[in-house]
Structure 1
Amino acid sequence: MLEILRRIVQEVNGARTLDAALSIIVRRIRKAMQTDVCSVYLRDGQRDHFILMDTIGLNTAAIGQVTMRPGEGLVGLVGQREEPLNIEEAPSHSHFRYFAETGEERYSSFLGVPIIHQRRVLGVLVVQQRDKRLFDEGEEAFLITMAAQLAGVLVHALSTGELARLNDAESQVMLSGIAAAPGMTIGEAFVVVPPANLDAVPERVPEDVEAEVLRLREAIDCVRSDIRRAAERLASRISAQEQALFDVYQQMLGDAALGQEVEKRIREGHWAPWALARVVQRHVQYLEKVDDNYLRERAADVRDLGRRVLSHLQTESEERSPVYPDHTVLVGDEISAAQLGEIPREKLAGLVALRGSSTSHVAILARAMNIPAVMGMSDLPLSRIAGTPMIVDGYRGRLILRPEPELQGRYESMIEEERSLISMLESEQSLPSETSDGQRIRLMINTGLAVEMSGSPVARIDGVGLYRTEVPFMMHQRFPGEQEQARLYREQLAGFAPLPVVMRTLDIGGDKSLPYFPIEEDNAFLGWRGLRVTLDHPEVLMVQLRAMLRAAEGLDNLRILLPMVTTFEEVETVSRLLDRALEELREEGLKVQRPLLGIMIEVPAVIYQLEAFAGCVDFFSVGSNDLTQYLLAVDRGNARVSALYDAFQPAVLRALAQIARDSRRLGVPVSVCGELAGDPVGALLLVGMGYRVLSMNAPNLSRVRAAIRRASLSGVRELVDEALSQESLVQTRALIFERMEAWELAHLLPHRD
């Protein structure tokens, strides 16, 4: 039976269409179980009906015609109860419903099992026989196992097949992806394609090596110019922080990055296109293995740059300027920041990408420009949607093709409400972040890029709560030296001075290895990472500490933050290394001061050691994302369990409240950086717990500020007390959103169903 199971799943996995997959299922299962009938019913999510999609044994004319609601008929009963049903004489069962078109009056015994994927019923698998008998335990176990095995492979075939079928019609299609940038828009699809194919470059020996090097340099210069022009077109629409994303592109193209490595390959005897393709593919393959979302998305940036350089190498002809619709929804496999900059801003309405996530560069830019974006639309058929009218819902991560008039009207109303809200938020940008009864809350930003901030943005924030120093390390082919790091850190510190900048020491290992420092881990999240790595390599940590201190000379706004702390001894060791770095630099004649030193609270064990840590550090910073993940034992990147990841779980809220209480008792300042701090509801709960410093991604600042200004400290304290007394996530969320409605703050929250 195991071999039969394996073969059936393998065949279904290889099916090109939904219909082919269903045909394989019913025929192979009927043969394996030697039954008279095998049928598969799939659930239509929009109408909430189970539809007979394929059968062998019943009349084929019934396919697509027989439908049952949950609880209706034996099939509907299986789907409603989400458990098997094994009956000796089906027609005598109280839920039996007769469909004349099926011809099933000839069959007596019935065995139906639900097909469930991630707690969602996809359909029902049924076998029937003329003989009046119960299916035995072995047969029932086989069909249950078959349904469980098929659920994972069927879900992809189901979405792909239904989409292909619906695209041939004029009906509305609703698809789900990843909410990458908030907002809603209605527009027309404009499909973009990669400028060149890196996977199709042939290998050749160059006739003239120097000529190939010159070709490469000219192609890189052309791409540099393209990116510079794209950045200039967007300059008035985005802040200096987002503008720095284009600087990252320029750095990737620099002599010390891609260009130098490609030249080396050329001089080894390869022509420029092949050398470029190999270098880009090596970087992309490495980055795609990284388990950190922000860093993994850099693979898309490197791939896009490689394609652009290759395009210039392959042809000298200029492309004709495309004609964009007035309300363009840019759709592509991977959309780059450079492609985004090529479209007139007044025509760009939304973004949709088959790949990518909320941490991609283009998502960051989309949020900065208030352009709704949905990523991860892997089943979208690019070849068939050009010019299709669509709604992009960046709050729900939803894409609606060919919306019906009623639904389009609803979205038009919501979009108008959204415009009014944005206008209100913009008018409050420069107002202080304080509650209605006068409690000041410091709002800071998270960043991973060196930026120069103009006076206006600085006036609206209180500093940088988290600077990810691993980004510069990712942009090199070796560990960057002390002077290189110091230059980057100085730009960041000077750009925000005199506001504080919290720099996290190198956070790599396990899930975030470097190309020149590979690490293989069986369990990345519980392995060799963060401070554990840099303490095992003090030579790397010392260079970074010296670079930070050197960069901060005369500015006095540096704060150093240690990631993945678990034990008191780890912090003691870093403190000694920091003192040594200070002494060395002072001996070199630098006037450096000891910066404040803090730890990230993300490992649950630290919660119970705060008293010990209070004696050796100056501040605490709660990493709410990882703390939630570790408290709930949920890998938030694993689709099977990611639904369990929720920072509003009672256990997480109680842990956060305890940290706030203990920090206050110990007299140690504490902040929160992570997604919870950037959620208006989460921010209010944190304020009610006693947190006075919140750090978040810059696009979240305005909503959080508006929520804080409209709530009272006494009110949010009362809300926290009630929330902490709830027993379940459902109860907690119901209480919170009921209170938001009562406080007339629901309009500040992302639109929810």
Structure 2
Amino acid sequence: MLHTLRKIIQEVNSARDLDTALTIIVERVRAAMGTQVCSVYLLDPQSNRFVLMATEGLNKDAIGQVSMAPSEGLVGLVGTREEPLNLEDAASHPRYRYFAETGEERYASFLGAPIIHHRRVMGVLVVQQKERRQFDEGEEAFLVTMSAQLAGVIAHAEATGSIRGLGKQGKAIEDTRFVGVPGSPGVALGSAVVVLPAADLEVVPDRQVSDIDGEIAYFYNALEAVRADIHALSARLASQLRQQERALFDVYLMMLDDASLGGEVIKVIETGQWAQGALRQVVNGHVQRFEQMDDAYLSERASDVRDIGRRLLAYLQQARQQKLVYPDNTILVSEELSPAMLGEVPPGKLVGLVSVRGSSNSHVSILARAMGIPTVMGAADLPYSMVDGIELIVDGYRGDVFTNPSPGLRRQFAEIAEEERQLNLGLESLRCLPCETLDGHRLPLWANTGLFADIARAHERGAEGVGLYRSEVPFMTNERFPSEKEQVALYRQQLAAFHPLPVTMRTLDIGGDKALSYFPIKEDNSFLGWRGIRITLDHPEIFLVQARAMLKASEGLDNLRILLPMISGLPELEEAQRLLHRAWSEVREEGVDVPMPPVGVMIEIPAAVFQTRELARQVDFLSVGSNDLTQYLLAVDRNNPRVANLYDYLHPSILHALKRVVDDAHSVGKPVSICGEMAGDPSAAMLLMAMGFDSLSMNATNLPKVKWLLRQVSLQQARELLDQVLLIDHAPLIHSTLSLALRHLGLARMLNPGASTQN
């Protein structure tokens, strides 16, 4: 069964369009199951009807003509119930509907399975037989497994057609919507620039070129370079390999010949495809043919073809390295965005980001929010390698990406973008005003920083200090651990820029979704593994150098606060404090006269929530990391788009945990702040203020909106709303309650210019 499934999926994946893919499905499934009929019905979202799109066994003239509503027929029943239907005599079922044009009256037994992708019913896969019999459990399991496997393939094939602007009848498609996860609020209109990982054939996009001779020249140069590499490799290993083993290099050289793989690529280039795209087509075709062969030796040759393809692609990419063009209004698109990719775009040109992987709380999302760039993450269904150069709309409020937008949709989002611009202009006047409620309650608003550019943004938006300096950011942008001297310069820059305001510096917090290329950590479950304080306590040489650098950088400024991440109990805290005092003694021995700065603990592990009092007694302050605390309390990987909808910091358990932390910290006289993304959500900030948090720290981009809202309400109103929300046991109802409260206060529209896109 698995072997058959794999072969069908491979064949369907290589189909050039949706119609071909569906034809392959019905032919192969019918043959594999030994039935007389196999058909695929797809749900047309415009008509909301299941349309017969492919069949093997029924009258093919019925394709595209026969359709039924979800309330009609057995196919409609399978689709609405979202479960398989196995009937010995289909005609006797009350939902049976007869279509004369299909010729299905000859077939008695019926087995249908829904095709579901990301909770959306896409269609129904059906097999039928003439004799009356119930399909056995094995046959039903096979069809259900097949439909589950094919769901993603069909979704991808449909999306590919949409990207290319062609529908089922070849009509132009506009406003095709791909659903992702909101990464950073705002809307962006622009042109897609696809950034591909190095030498990965699977993600090379199609791209038409006019200079065919130039493309062929590029490819010939790559061929010659790879031939030279293989000759050199063969010569170098001549003394270590037998003659028959060295023959493999001759096979590689033959593949590169004009009469073999090299010649095939040139033929594809001559059709107008660029060299990389032509190489992908030819290599993938050969790989799939080899992998489908039953002979073990021949199937292994697929890896040889892949290797040749990667070598050629690497040279082609190297030749074009300087050729990536960033137009005005660039929307950067990649399988997995990285901070380095953002840094490559010339200043003023980047307006939006789209990532196939990641979620709203991945590192790039946080960076995007800090930079104020509308972002959609986790757009898993977007065939991103095919969107290069086409027009996109990024809706960072809802997490939607639109390809080929119509003039009407373009106009709608342009109006929203203008509303945002006017809103931000209106908020600039708040910069020098305090964050003070209508009844006189003052709440300091601090900024999260990490990049050098964050300093200017924080000042522009009136931050009253730094609640979280992510010290790992300069480590992540380096190619080695920065020296103590280099770290002193970095930290001094931050401390001096905000003096005399406080700057809270978190000690190195790597691991999880924050990797260092020169200090790789490979774990099956990185978020529950070696990260944060666990790493630096295991490597005191890293911790001590950083602590000394922070202390030296604060000389004469005295506005440093040190924050310890990922503390799960008193033993870790005591060991970290011992190292901090050792670093302080060493610095003083060197003649640097600095007082011991305030030391705090991050509350971001559930265990710490229940030890808040004990931890608070040992430190000067506490700071809640709401991103990780939400992740751990809800057991939701915040970087996994499949479960991103479960990640919700307004979940009742999160709100009750936060209230407990504040109450326990205050019971022993210690201040507590919060520095996650939750603090930058204006409506959530109202609840945090009501709970009694002593300060909120957020990305500077969000600070004016939070300040604006808190200046429009009284502390009493916020407390009444919190009391109401703490009695609610459903997160969606909490969201609704907050939205309704803001609407009654006339504040909702001001906070979200994209509200019109939410309908």
- TM-score band w.r.t. shorter chain: 0.7 to 0.9
Report SS of the residue matched to 2:491.
Answer: helix
Report SS of the residue matched to 2:693.
Answer: coil
Aligned residue number for residue 544 of structure 2: 542
1:12 paired to 2:17? no
1:351–1:371 contact (8 Å) kept in structure 2: yes
Q: Cα–Cα, structure 1 residues 109 and 340, in superposed 2: closer, same or farther, change >3 Å?
A: same
* Equivalent residue runs for 1:246-645 within 5 Å: 328=329, 330=331, 336-337=341-342, 340-341=345-346, 350-351=351-352, 353=354, 372=374, 374=376, 379=382, 386=389, 391-404=393-406, 407-408=409-410, 410-411=412-413, 414-415=416-417, 417-450=419-452, 453=455, 457=459, 460-509=462-511, 511-645=513-647
TM-score normalised by length of structure 2: 0.76
Q: Deviations over 1:618-661 (max 9, x none)?
A: 11111111111111111122233222111122212221122122
Q: Cα–Cα, structure 1 residues 100 and 406, in superposed 2: closer, same or farther, change >3 Å?
A: farther
User: Which stretches in structure 2 are left out of the alignment for 5+ residues?
Assistant: 202-218, 230-313
CA–CA distance in structure 2, aligned partners of residues 443 and 84 of structure 1: 55
CA–CA distance in structure 2, aligned partners of residues 173 and 676 of structure 1: 32
Count of equivalent residues: 640
Q: Cα–Cα, structure 1 residues 376 and 645, in superposed 2: closer, same or farther, change >3 Å?
A: closer
Q: Deviations over 1:518-574 (max 9, x none)?
A: 333222111111111111111211111111111111111111111111120111111
Report SS of the residue matched to 2:680.
Answer: coil
Match 2:742 to one of 740, 743, 749: 740
Q: Cα–Cα, structure 1 residues 377 and 645, in superposed 2: closer, same or farther, change >3 Å?
A: closer
Q: Which amino acid aligns with 1:115?
A: I
Quote the RMSD (CA, aligned, Å).
3.7
Aligned residue number for residue 51 of structure 1: 51
1:558–1:595 contact (8 Å) kept in structure 2: yes
* Equivalent residue runs for 1:670-749 within 5 Å: 670-747=672-749, 748-749=751-752
Q: Which amino acid aligns with 1:425?
A: L
How far does residue 18 in structure 1 lie from its aligned partner after superposition?
2.9
Match 2:186 to one of 177, 183, 186: 183
1:185–1:349 contact (8 Å) kept in structure 2: no
Q: Cα–Cα, structure 1 residues 160 and 452, in superposed 2: closer, same or farther, change >3 Å?
A: closer
CA–CA distance in structure 1, aligned partners of residues 615 and 371 of structure 2: 41
CA–CA distance in structure 2, aligned partners of residues 458 and 735 of structure 1: 33
Report SS of the residue matched to 1:638.
Answer: coil
CA–CA distance in structure 1, aligned partners of residues 512 and 373 of structure 2: 34
How far does residue 597 in structure 1 lie from its aligned partner after superposition?
0.8
Q: Which amino acid aligns with 2:744?
A: A
Q: Which amino acid aligns with 1:58?
A: L
CA–CA distance in structure 2, aligned partners of residues 382 and 522 of structure 1: 28
1:510–1:520 contact (8 Å) kept in structure 2: no
Q: Cα–Cα, structure 1 residues 8 and 541, in superposed 2: closer, same or farther, change >3 Å?
A: same
Report SS of the residue matched to 2:523.
Answer: coil
Q: Which amino acid aligns with 1:705?
A: K
Q: Deviations over 1:113-139 (max 9, x none)?
A: 112233332322111122233222222
Aligned residue number for residue 148 of structure 1: 148
Q: Cα–Cα, structure 1 residues 414 and 515, in superposed 2: closer, same or farther, change >3 Å?
A: closer
Aligned residue number for residue 258 of structure 1: none
How far does residue 30 in structure 1 lie from its aligned partner after superposition?
1.2
How far does residue 603 in structure 1 lie from its aligned partner after superposition?
0.8
Q: Cα–Cα, structure 1 residues 69 and 712, in superposed 2: closer, same or farther, change >3 Å?
A: farther
CA–CA distance in structure 2, aligned partners of residues 164 and 551 of structure 1: 55
1:33 paired to 2:33? yes
Report SS of the residue matched to 2:618.
Answer: coil
Aligned residue number for residue 76 of structure 2: 76
Q: Which amino acid aligns with 1:629?
A: Q
2:156–2:383 contact (8 Å) kept in structure 1: no
Q: Cα–Cα, structure 1 residues 708 and 72, in superposed 2: closer, same or farther, change >3 Å?
A: farther
TM-score normalised by length of structure 1: 0.76
Report SS of the residue matched to 1:627.
Answer: helix
How far does residue 407 in structure 1 lie from its aligned partner after superposition?
4.4
1:337–1:365 contact (8 Å) kept in structure 2: no
Q: Deviations over 1:195-231 (max 9, x none)?
A: 99999974889xxxxxxxxxxxxxxxxxxxxxxxxxx
How far does residue 67 in structure 1 lie from its aligned partner after superposition?
3.0
CA–CA distance in structure 1, aligned partners of residues 117 and 111 of structure 2: 20
2:181–2:641 contact (8 Å) kept in structure 1: no
Report SS of the residue matched to 1:555.
Answer: coil
Q: Cα–Cα, structure 1 residues 81 and 668, in superposed 2: closer, same or farther, change >3 Å?
A: same
How far does residue 479 in structure 1 lie from its aligned partner after superposition?
2.5
CA–CA distance in structure 2, aligned partners of residues 477 and 459 of structure 1: 32
User: Which stretches in structure 1 are left out of the alignment for 5+ residues?
Assistant: 206-305
Q: Cα–Cα, structure 1 residues 356 and 634, in superposed 2: closer, same or farther, change >3 Å?
A: closer
How far does residue 368 in structure 1 lie from its aligned partner after superposition?
7.2
CA–CA distance in structure 1, aligned partners of residues 627 and 361 of structure 2: 14
Q: Cα–Cα, structure 1 residues 161 and 452, in superposed 2: closer, same or farther, change >3 Å?
A: closer
1:190–1:331 contact (8 Å) kept in structure 2: yes
Q: Cα–Cα, structure 1 residues 362 and 480, in superposed 2: closer, same or farther, change >3 Å?
A: closer
